[in-house]
Amino acid sequence: MTIAILLTITLIAAMMFAIARLRSFGSEPATDYSDTSPQIDLRHHLSGPLLCEGMIHGPTGKLASRFTAKMHGHWDGANGVLEENFTYDSGNTQSRAWALRMGNDGRFTATADDVIGEATGEFSGATIRMSYRLRLPKDAGGHVLSVTDWLYLTDTGVILNRSEMRKFGVKVAELFAVMRPNPA
């Protein structure tokens, strides 16, 4: 009788986990936002100098780190580069250069030195959704995380970025950042 109860509880837990994953942050398509405005355009809204401020929360929701970043995007037709230079509250710095390639169907791909393989993304309405596998720096453990980024364009041209980072399907960190054009 005890084994049957344990199997039932295990089955219910597995079903709840599967349902949660299907309805999770990473599974929602950008096309769910096709009727939102203003319409985001990567070549316009991720172009020129940008300022970014953000924070990273750990798995329990506790603030783990804050950062600022200076970014600069430039495009040549369907190909672009977004350079990011981060400074964390610890004093550590990090740089990344995204190589972006636009598709014809609201989709794009991106690569960066700390991204394993190719990131895939889509934009629709006021949103961008991108998924990729990120290798953390060695001083942060060198772990490989599955990342989903959502970027939301506001009426004022500010972009709100929310990202989830998972390892083995379990959320280990969440990032929130604000990106805005740098008039300087």
Task: Return the closest-CA partner of residue 56 out of 177, 181, 180.
Answer: 177
Tell me what pLDDT residue 84 has: 97
In this prediction the pTM is: 0.83
The per-residue pLDDT for range 39-94, each reduced to its tens digit, is 999 999 999 999 999 999 999 999 999 999 999 999 999 999 999 999 999 999 99
CB of 17 closer than 8 Å to CB of 150: no
Spatial contact of 74 and 80, defined as CB atoms under 8 Å apart: yes
Confidence of residue 142 (pLDDT cuts 50, 70, 90): confident
- What Cα–Cα distance (Å) separates residue 115 from each residue in 9, 90, 108, 144, 145? 38, 23, 15, 9, 10
Counting Cβ atoms within 10 Å, is residue 136 exposed (0-12), middle (13-18) or buried (19+)? middle
Contacts of 8 (CB under 8 A, 6+ apart): none
pLDDT class of 158 with cuts at 50, 70, 90: very high
The pLDDT tens digits of the residues spanning 79-129 come to 999 999 999 999 999 999 999 999 988 899 999 999 999 999 999 999 999
CA atoms within 13 A on the CB side of 58: 6
Q: Which of 2.40.128.20, 3.30.43.10, 3.60.15.10, 3.30.70.1350 is the CATH number of 30-181? A: 2.40.128.20
